[in-house]
Copies of this chain bind each other. A is one copy, B any other.
Amino acid sequence: MLGLDIGFFNHLLPTPAVPALCRDPCTDHTPSAPLCRALTMVNETQHTCSASSSSRSDGGSSSGSESSKDNSRCSTPVLDLDRHERLREKMRRRQDAGDRWFSLEFFPPRTANAAVNLISRFDRMGAGGPLFIDVTWHPAGDPGSDKETSSMIIANTAVNYCGLETILHMTCCNQTKDDITGHLQKAKRLGLKNIMALRGDPSGEEWEEEVDGFNYAVDLVKHIRNEFDDYFDICVAGYPKGHPEAESYEADLRHLKEKVFAGADFIITQLFFQPETFLKFMKDCQAIGITCPIIPGIFPIQGYHSLRQLVKLSKLEVPQEIKDVIEPIKDNDAAIRNYGVELAVSMCRELLDSGMVHGLHFYTLNREVATTEVLKRLGLWKEDPRRPLPWAVSAHPKRRVEDVRPIFWASRPKSYIYRTQEWDDFPNGRWGNSSSPAFGELKDYYLFYLKSKSPREELLKMWGEELTSEESVFEVFTCYITGEPNRNGYKVTCMPWNDDPLATETNLLKDELERVNRRGILTINSQPNINGKPSTDPIVGWGPSGGYVFQKAYLEFFTSSEIVTALLKVLKKYELRVNYHIVNVKGQNITNAPDLQPNAVTWGIFPGREIIQPTVVDPVSFLSWKDEAFALWIEQWAKLYEEESPSRMIIQYIHDNYYLVNLVDNDFPLENCLWQVVEDTFELLNSPTQQ
């Protein structure tokens, strides 16, 4: 964040030094027209889309109900209000409800590998339930470009692929109006909805104000409101001690007020070391008429050197009592971090207890441990966050209505999002309604947000330095399921089709999965049948509380043509109960699905709602998934080995000759019959009379 610390926090990493400190004064203006529009719209939105479920007895005559019909009708069930609100509305709703929340700040990484790791961190820290994250603008890192390390692309990934409400920082000094408009347009196109408007660090010693240029953050705020009306939520920076270069604390407060009156929606502050600092600042802001939310920036001290560098760059003074504690333990990283956590927890508690603070903003320095610890100690980390849907939602505005996906990408949601990013509309209820079911090609299997987090050597250890037969492949699958080490003593923690360890839900099927994988039913996706568990069930639950969730048993696997031949005979016995799709890489396609209709395999019933059916087995999408699933054999596994090597030829053989099979047991209230189908298949294969 914070003009000031864009430079600052990036500098904590070993980066070329750039002038770090700048001031962020603002010009003097009265509230602008766009701001008035913005405020009006907040009220309107709240009126038509309120979360209230209280009784209304306000004589809604027929004309009254007419108007509510026009405005309040939602075209899709609003399962998760969060997905339909803008950030400032969420903030206000949480505040009104007395909820406390937190947010997390990250800076863009310096390498593509670091970007892959950061995305994983987004996923892990996103699970704790931040209200939003923000990504700093790194002027030296080509921040608006398409590089995987740019601020723009990191923010894009957070929104679209990790489903996080995200604020993109943007600085304005030393940039043309056209550049800035271009960045904003691109941000909008990518689905970003929030901007932190900053001046940034002027480059060069002799910086001077440019006439008609963007000299201060307030200019950027005005520009955003002029050019983009109310599209973006705008955040600005506040300095609890006053900006180090401001004429005075009072002058700095006036600058802040100007930024707010120019159209900013809320304020995040620079870090501070004592709660009184923030509380005084907040009262001072309110005294001069700043009424928007002001969110304290929290910096858990994580090490001696980063703190020293911080002090040097920010010109903030570290209170003596903190220095007194730290100096004696300066070489003990763990001790300093523990102290930093204690200090942060105690400061946060004081802030929250004041009743003036509802949300806390954390400067993470891209690290997890300290911030997560503080949040857990405060009880703000949502250990088991409710899933709005059984898959990872995207926060792109056009995906707000997305409430159904094919089951095939269950373990590769980012691939699904990537391949459907060009869709204009998302299926709003029925998969069959999709006006544009064409999937984008996965042209580059190393798209950074899809890249395996494990390096080649690690993959070889897990999947085998040398494969000697199809059976050695069966073993890899089996070890992945069981969690047991493979013959070389390594655990198999990921597979080409699953970048993560087994889902908790899959553990319910572990024994059966192990048994069938050993025998060459190479499972890549499965779910148990569920007949009406509460929506709050910790393993299979999703959606609002008070509902019931259901599933049909599903099993998807690769297997040999010999097994498929027997399976097809067995499936005749289950014709009315089991739907199947069986394809090979050449496109041969055997199915008993009626008329290529989707089969709903996950659905939920909630109080006062329409039925939600978020997961389907869609026959048409299966053919796109098939291409991806087969390609993963080659791209992620075969290519680990030398060309012409026996290991590579074994994978290639499987790719060329195996079938991809999916099975649905439609009788969800009965015991899952799919295991029996597989048993029957092996029995048939082993019977002497089988042909």
Contact = CB atoms under 8 A, between A and B. Distances in A.
Interface size class of A (residues with CB under 8 A): 35 or more
B597 A608 contact: yes
Contacts of A579: 607-608
Given A78-B594, A546-B576, A546-B577, 14 more contacts: A49-B595, A50-B595, A57-B590, A59-B589, A60-B623, A62-B627, A64-B589, A75-B430, A77-B430, A546-B666, A579-B607, A597-B610, A606-B666, A610-B616
A610 B679 CA distance: 29
Interface stretch (A65-73, A298-306, A372-380): A65-73
Given A50-B595, A430-B429, A588-B57, A550 B69 contact: no
A219 to B, nearest CB: 39
A663 B430 CA distance: 28
Interface stretch (A199-207, A283-291, A431-439): A431-439
Contacts of A595: 49-51, 72, 74, 78
Contact of A591 (B55, B429, B599): B55
A608 B60 contact: no
A54 B56 CA distance: 54
A432 B73 contact: yes
B596 A603 contact: no
A590 to B, nearest CB: 5
Most chain B CB within a 10 A radius of its CB, from A603, A608, A610, A623: A608
A428 interface: yes
11 contacts: A56-B589, A60-B589, A62-B627, A64-B587, A64-B589, A65-B620, A430-B430, A548-B668, A579-B607, A599-B608, A605-B668
A97 to B, nearest CB: 15
A75 B433 contact: yes
Contacts of A546: 576-577, 666-667
Given A69-B620, A600-B611, A591 B77 contact: no
Contacts of A437: 69, 73
Interface string A653-674: 0000000000010111100000
Interface in A307-339: none
A620 B53 contact: no
Contacts of A591: 55-56
A500 to B, nearest CB: 29
A592 B429 contact: no
B429 A76 contact: no
Interface in A173-195: none
Contacts of A54: 592
A62 B438 CA distance: 12
Interface of A is mostly: loop
Given A546-B577, A590-B56, A610 B599 contact: yes
A613 B588 CA distance: 34
A242 interface: no
A532 interface: yes
Interface of A: 49-51, 53-57, 59-62, 64-65, 68-69, 72-78, 428-433, 437, 531-532, 546-548, 550, 568, 576-577, 579, 586-600, 603, 605-611, 613, 616, 620, 623, 627, 664, 666-669
A548 B552 CA distance: 12
A74 B597 contact: yes
Nearest to A665: B607
Q: How many copies does the complex hold?
A: 2
Most chain B CB within a 10 A radius of its CB, from A54, A73, A590: A73
A55 B592 contact: yes
A548 to B, nearest CB: 6
B611 A611 contact: yes
A597 B65 CA distance: 13
Going nearest first, the 3 A-B pairs with the smallest beta carbon separation are: A61-B587, A607-B666, A60-B589
A655 to B, nearest CB: 16
Given A433-B429, A627-B62, A590 B77 contact: no
Contact of A59 (B53, B430, B587, B596): B587
B53 A594 contact: yes
Nearest to A57: B590
A669 B75 contact: no
Given A53-B592, A430-B76, A433-B428, A65 B608 contact: no
Contacts of A610: 430-432, 597-600, 613, 616
A688 B475 CA distance: 75
A175 B668 CA distance: 61
A589 B55 CA distance: 9
Contacts of A607: 576-577, 579, 599, 666
Contacts of A600: 605, 609-611
A598 B610 CA distance: 6
Contacts of A431: 610
A603 to B, nearest CB: 5
Contacts of A429: 429-430, 433
A55 B588 CA distance: 12
Contacts of A55: 568, 590-592
Nearest to A61: B587
A588 to B, nearest CB: 5
Given A577-B607, A590-B56, A75 B532 contact: no
Contacts of A64: 587, 589
B666 A608 contact: yes
A568 B49 CA distance: 24
Contacts of A73: 432, 437, 596, 620
A596 B72 contact: yes
Contacts of A594: 51, 53, 78, 608-609
A62 B56 CA distance: 55
